[in-house]
Structure 1
Amino acid sequence: MTSLLESSPYFRFAYNKEWGANSFEAGVHGMISYVYGTPFAGAPLTSQPGGPVSTYHDIGLDAQYQYVLDPHYFAAHARVTRELMNNPMNPGITNWQGLQASNATDNLTETYMDATYV
């Protein structure tokens, strides 16, 4: 179980266009989370209020195209999300997940794409 310092606001803005059998959507999304941590070795895998706070800032772009006209269906989706993590504990100290933190900050980029034709 994770304890949040406060709410984790999420936003999403999108543009949608439809014409004939086609539709297109492009959007941007993001979230900010502040998570309590337990900085000592042997701590349970739950986080406790009052410890150091890790921050997660996510921002992403996504798009989708669809063509729907019997008997054809085509869809393509793409998404890129970038997450910036800040773990205030020093490297080498067990973090709130019970894992050794190799560094105090890190980032992650997720890329997803798919296409379907029926």
Structure 2
Amino acid sequence: MKKIIAVFMLGMIACAFGADDLRVSVRYEKLKLTGAQPYPVVKIVATTDSITIKNIKGNRGNCVIPWIQLPAKLSYGKSIETSFTSASCPNLLEIEVDTDKGSYKFNVN
């Protein structure tokens, strides 16, 4: 029983430290235009006072972003939005955001 409690406490501590380190959040949706294939759209929101987005990768760089203005400096609550081409990214599994404060990976469900 003591081992279970110790593992639980370590997990809670790890979650707490991980939550403080996160400087951006990612929102994902799949949009479908009439008569076209759905395409992934990603919105990156700053959760810190100031952060610069240097690069965005989908599926470890295998998904193509047709256009985005980078680097992008964001303040708290501000966001940038981009999409991936449907042909290059039919199944978006992972998004990586490179910033001046580190890199963050998000798994897409």
Fold match by TM threshold 0.5: no
More helix by share: 2
More strand by share: 1
Q: Greater CA radius of gyration, 1 or 2?
A: 1
TM-score by length of 1: 0.29
